[in-house]
Amino acid sequence: MVAPVIFSRADHPISRTLIDDDALKVLYRLRKFNHAAYLVGGGVRDLLLQRHPKDFDIGTSAHPHEVKRIFRNCWIIGRRFRLAHVKFGQKTIEVATFRKQVPLDENASLPSRDTKETEKQRSDDTNLTRQPIRRDNTFGTPEEDAFRRDFTINALFYDISTFAIIDYVGGMQDLQNKLLRCIGDPRERFVEDPVRMLRAVAFAARLDFRVDTPIRDAIKHHHGEIKNASPARLVEELYKLLRSGVSTKTFKTLSKNGLLEHIAPEVEHRKSMRLWRSLDALDSYRCRFTSSPESLTNAVLLGSLMTPVQTLDLTPPRRDDRSVGLTLGDLPLARKDVDRLRRALVLQPRLTDPNLPARAVKGILTRPSFPDALTWLTIHGKNPDAVKHWQELAAKGPRPRPPKKRRRRRLRGPRAVSTNE
């Protein structure tokens, strides 16, 4: 057992007034029912760096079904990693039970996604004993939970009862030194969860931290492991990178380290100054806000990355056409996001037309695609007068109609045969 370093309230800048009120409600209520509960992860890290956290996550000794009994506004999600989501309107407080490292024999018995290339690469490294994590519902203690996390700066706990920071892994020292360091052997950590390589690049770019040498070496030798990551998680992480405000720096580093080739070969093979200018414009827009604005939808983010390297057909697809319209390696792009991007691009010539009739202006303002189109014009249009004009019209005019929901056709069974003759 490792004794943690305790930093009292006088030794750190975190105050309860900086923590979201609903997160405090969850913390206090869990403690009321005699469960340990701490603020954990990125929320603690960002508060210590005096940044605005995008969300607040909670670690607790309560199991997911116990959290659900305490909070009526709670939903349990996930299969590989079961989490409790406590809802407050549109806001979600994520509550995770303390975990411990998955036993080797239990993890090895589950089906693998490994390719022949990564199996050979891993077998060549005789020091590696871990396998990709395919189940992570083995509950543990706060100490075990800290040591199974990815980086030291993400393994700090804030205790609401004593206002102290609990540090098992030296994360406070690394924050002061602006150093990104893995907990344990980076090679094993990246084999367990290849998405951690993306997160390492993203944290270094967003926080302007130095990357520990073992992390750089591990990414260099094991970047092929990223093929074993869940495609859905990779899509989610790519959108996070694009929302970070430092997407240009991040994607250049991904390309340099060989990760972009495996995730998005279309971007890697066709990258040019046009791509970097597009991402620069996206970053410039994002940096106007303290946190990612709702206007940065997946459609706008996807277009900022893909339109410089691929041509999107703007004609509406036929109903029987199952193709998405854009390809990003083997990643599953949502057709609805590509359709939203297509509609936003179709509107661009009309938004820059100074002779548009008043009736057409009203029709554009009420279109569901107008917010995305205006955001695209703001980021990539290079026409500030048109942006200002449409922003003024949007402030005075009618609100866009919500998109229509398609009604599913009921499947009718065969008609009952009448027995009356």
Residues serving a catalytic function are 55, 57, 150
Residue type at 407 in one-letter notation = R
Cα gap 168→165, rounded to integer Å: 10
Cα gap 59→52, rounded to integer Å: 20
Query: Are 98 and 60 a contacting pair, CB within 8 Å?
Result: yes
**Distance between alpha carbon 135 and the CA centroid of its chain, in Å?**
20
Cα gap 353→303, rounded to integer Å: 22
Cα gap 406→56, rounded to integer Å: 35
